């Protein structure tokens, strides 16, 4: 077996390249560069012989053919059919060298159905102010993954959390690499926080990717998303307890029970946010109110030491450069909450922001920026207050940290399993029929 490449690779100008057609586009063959091929004549299924396959002379496709320099032409016929090149006697030399790449892209585009409008979607998939760009409501897992590379109304929702996931993962691994995990107990809360900061953007991007597989899959994906957000909320509480508490609250009763109550908050918040999805069609306003409340009150509890520190009595050790980052974090979080609840700007101009610029994309960006500011503030507090904290506070033990995280994970997964099972117990009309 050997690769035949009797002719040098030729660069074709753009005018000679065959058109790459998206689904639904009309076939228009260029006049130059096609040799004997012309539109309108069929060759699909024809078995032809060729001594110089176009794939063999393309540098990116090293295919092996027999020593007799012959092939049965099935791949060529398929190529002709997909790219709409036809001739009564196809000649391999007539195809441009870019055919393999174009064929690959064409076949990829064929796997992605055209996005749908809101009128073609079940009501459970409807988003306020979003008219076009919906994916098929019964997409396969493969189609969901491929949709990352197709412009639809979820594409930027996915990428605005998938890319930051890798950034936060890089920061987490960097800190982990320079930390003596076994002996540096002072850094354990930071590692927990940075680990949970990687979980929620990954879970969010997965939820937006696979939410179009079915109605129930959509709900379950977002159940997991809510659980990841609440796990991050607990990670923030652990870091706040260790590094950011104002001087006057350190070693108080409030400080002692702060993390334990944060665990309870995450359990309640996950249950409340999951339950809100059952009201999405019947009572959309109550659904939105419960979901905002489910995330607002754990954040308020976690941030109480920050509010106290910034606006009441910061204490001498807490007056440092980290305060500016805490303020920026609060501002970005408030902006994210407003965007999430207000559905602006798409509510004012339905259909104008279906693909780029709708509120959920802006919400994702604000949340990531808020997390970045929060991370910078925690890192500064950890460094600048280390001496005072080690002398004045009781650091969290490994048992306290792991116990809190494990309890959160167990009860969060229990909530998710319970509500996921409820999806299959509740009759379809009762779950999705809109209240009249």
* Cα(275)–Cα(387) distance, integer angstroms: 45
Domain ranges, residue 41: 1-110
Q: What is the value of pTM for the model shown?
A: 0.75
- Considering the domain architecture, whether residues 257 and 312 belong to the same structural domain is answered as yes
Please indicate, yes or no, if residue 314 is contained in any of the structural domains.
yes
Please indicate, yes or no, if residue 375 is contained in any of the structural domains.
yes
Which residue has better confidence, 319 or 257? Answer: 257
Predicted confidence at residue 336, as pLDDT, reads 97
Mean pLDDT estimate for the chain? 81
**Bridge partners, 387 (sequence order):** none
* Cα(278)–Cα(71) distance, integer angstroms: 59
Q: Is the pLDDT of residue 94 over 70?
A: no
Predicted confidence at residue 148, as pLDDT, reads 94
Domain final residue, candidates 87, 110, 133 = 110
Of the candidates 218, 213, 209, the one whose C-alpha atom is nearest the C-alpha of residue 274 is 218
Q: Is 343 left (phi over 0), alpha (psi -120 to 50) or beta?
A: left
Judged by average pLDDT, the poorest of 112-116, 166-170, 256-260 is 112-116
Per DSSP, the three-state class of 321 is coil
Q: Please tell me whether 364 is known to bind a ligand.
A: yes
Residue with tokens 């969060």: 412
State the average pLDDT over residues 389-411: 94
Please indicate, yes or no, if residue 392 is contained in any of the structural domains.
yes
Which residue has better confidence, 113 or 207? Answer: 207
- Considering the domain architecture, whether residues 211 and 266 belong to the same structural domain is answered as yes
Predicted confidence at residue 96, as pLDDT, reads 53
State the average pLDDT over residues 127-154: 95
- Considering the domain architecture, whether residues 92 and 141 belong to the same structural domain is answered as no
User: What does the block give as tokens for 193?
Assistant: 């926080």
Q: Is the pLDDT of residue 38 over 70?
A: no
Q: Please tell me whether 360 is known to bind a ligand.
A: yes
Residue with tokens 């805490």: 326
- Considering the domain architecture, whether residues 128 and 105 belong to the same structural domain is answered as no
Instruction: Give Dmax over CA atoms of the chain in angstroms.
Output: 88
Task: For the chain, state the CA radius of gyration.
Answer: 29
User: What does the block give as tokens for 384?
Assistant: 């600048």
Which residues have CB under 8 Å from 397's CB, separation 6+? 185
Predicted confidence at residue 10, as pLDDT, reads 46
Q: How confident is the model at residue 144 (pLDDT cuts 50, 70, 90)?
A: very high
Q: Is the pLDDT of residue 59 over 50?
A: no
* High-pLDDT (> 90) share of the chain, %: 66
- Considering the domain architecture, whether residues 129 and 227 belong to the same structural domain is answered as yes
* High-pLDDT (> 70) share of the chain, %: 71
Per DSSP, the three-state class of 57 is coil
Predicted confidence at residue 155, as pLDDT, reads 96
Predicted confidence at residue 104, as pLDDT, reads 55
Domain final residue, candidates 85, 110, 135 = 110
Which residue has better confidence, 356 or 40? Answer: 356
Of the candidates 355, 423, 368, 369, the one whose C-alpha atom is nearest the C-alpha of residue 127 is 355
Please indicate, yes or no, if residue 96 is contained in any of the structural domains.
yes
- Considering the domain architecture, whether residues 5 and 26 belong to the same structural domain is answered as yes
- Considering the domain architecture, whether residues 86 and 42 belong to the same structural domain is answered as yes
- Considering the domain architecture, whether residues 156 and 84 belong to the same structural domain is answered as no
Q: Is the pLDDT of residue 53 over 50?
A: no
Number of structural domains in the chain: 2
Q: Is the pLDDT of residue 68 over 90?
A: no
Q: How confident is the model at residue 23 (pLDDT cuts 50, 70, 90)?
A: very low
CB atoms within 10 A of CB 320: 15
- Considering the domain architecture, whether residues 87 and 148 belong to the same structural domain is answered as no
- Considering the domain architecture, whether residues 106 and 214 belong to the same structural domain is answered as no
- Considering the domain architecture, whether residues 24 and 142 belong to the same structural domain is answered as no
Which residues have CB under 8 Å from 241's CB, separation 6+? 189, 255, 258, 259, 396
User: What does the block give as tokens for 102?
Assistant: 């174009």
* Cα(416)–Cα(410) distance, integer angstroms: 10
Which residue has better confidence, 8 or 378? Answer: 378
Please indicate, yes or no, if residue 118 is contained in any of the structural domains.
no
**pLDDT for 187-210, tens place per residue?**
999 999 999 999 999 999 999 999
Please indicate, yes or no, if residue 117 is contained in any of the structural domains.
no
Q: How many CA atoms lie within 13 A of 124 on its CB side?
A: 22
CB atoms within 10 A of CB 164: 24
Of the candidates 133, 275, 314, the one whose C-alpha atom is nearest the C-alpha of residue 212 is 133
Please indicate, yes or no, if residue 230 is contained in any of the structural domains.
yes
Q: Please tell me whether 208 is known to bind a ligand.
A: yes
Distances (CA, A) of 386 to 103, 375, 391: 60, 16, 9
Q: How many CA atoms lie within 13 A of 294 on its CB side?
A: 24
Per DSSP, the three-state class of 132 is strand
129, 130, 131, 134: CA torsion to nearest 10: -160
Q: What are phi and psi of 379, to 5 degrees?
A: -65, -40
Q: How confident is the model at residue 313 (pLDDT cuts 50, 70, 90)?
A: confident
* Cα(124)–Cα(9) distance, integer angstroms: 53
Predicted confidence at residue 102, as pLDDT, reads 56
Q: How confident is the model at residue 113 (pLDDT cuts 50, 70, 90)?
A: confident
Residue with tokens 């295919």: 63
- Considering the domain architecture, whether residues 66 and 128 belong to the same structural domain is answered as no
Please indicate, yes or no, if residue 51 is contained in any of the structural domains.
yes
Of the candidates 203, 202, 222, the one whose C-alpha atom is nearest the C-alpha of residue 212 is 222
Domain final residue, candidates 110, 139, 169 = 110
Q: Indicate which CATH number applies to the domain containing 358.
A: 1.20.1070
Which residue has better confidence, 229 or 98? Answer: 229
* Cis check: omega of the bond before 275, within 30 degrees of 0: no
Which residues have CB under 8 Å from 323's CB, separation 6+? 309, 310, 314, 377
Q: Is the pLDDT of residue 319 over 90?
A: no
């Amino acid at each position: 077996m050997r690769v035949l490449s009797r002719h040098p690779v030729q660069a074709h100008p753009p005018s000679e390249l065959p058109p790459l057609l998206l689904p639904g586009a009309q076939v228009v063959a260029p006049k130059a560069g096609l040799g004997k091929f012309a539109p309108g004549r069929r060759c699909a299924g024809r078995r032809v012989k060729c001594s110089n396959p176009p794939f063999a002379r393309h540098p990116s496709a090293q295919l092996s053919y027999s020593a007799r320099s012959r092939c049965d032409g099935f791949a060529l016929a398929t190529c002709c059919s997909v790219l709409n090149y036809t001739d009564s006697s196809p000649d391999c030399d007539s195809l441009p060298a870019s055919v393999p790449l174009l064929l690959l892209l064409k076949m990829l585009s064929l796997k992605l159905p055209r996005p749908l409008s809101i009128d073609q979607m079940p009501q459970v998939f409807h988003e306020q102010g979003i008219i076009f760009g919906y994916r098929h409501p019964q997409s396969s897992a493969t189609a969901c993954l491929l949709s990352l590379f197709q412009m639809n109304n979820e594409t930027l929702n996915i990428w605005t959390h998938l890319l930051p996931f890798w950034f936060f993962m890089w920061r987490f691994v960097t800190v982990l690499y320079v930390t003596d995990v076994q002996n540096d107990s002072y850094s354990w809360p930071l590692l927990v926080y940075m680990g949970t900061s990687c979980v929620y953007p990954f879970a969010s991007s997965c939820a937006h990717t696979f939410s179009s597989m079915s109605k129930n899959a959509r709900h379950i994906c977002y159940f997991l998303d809510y659980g990841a957000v609440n796990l991050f909320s607990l990670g923030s509480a652990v870091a706040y307890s260790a590094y950011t508490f104002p001087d006057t609250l350190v070693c108080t009763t409030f400080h002692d029970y702060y993390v334990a109550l944060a665990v309870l908050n995450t359990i309640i918040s996950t249950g409340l946010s999951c339950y809100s999805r059952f009201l999405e069609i019947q009572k959309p306003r109550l659904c939105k109110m419960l979901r905002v409340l489910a995330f607002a009150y754990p954040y308020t509890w976690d941030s109480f030491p920050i509010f106290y520190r910034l606006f009441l009595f910061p204490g001498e050790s807490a007056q440092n450069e980290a305060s500016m980052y805490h303020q920026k974090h609060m501002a970005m979080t408030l902006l994210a909450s407003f965007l999430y609840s207000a559905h602006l700007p798409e509510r004012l101009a339905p259909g104008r922001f279906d693909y780029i610029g709708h509120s959920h994309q802006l919400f994702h960006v604000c949340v990531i920026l808020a997390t970045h500011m929060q991370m910078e503030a925690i890192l500064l507090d950890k460094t600048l207050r280390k001496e005072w904290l080690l002398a004045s506070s009781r650091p969290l033990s490994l048992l306290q940290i792991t116990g809190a995280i494990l309890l959160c994970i167990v009860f969060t997964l229990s909530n998710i399993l319970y509500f996921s099972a409820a999806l299959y117990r509740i009759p379809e009309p009762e779950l999705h029929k809109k209240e009249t």
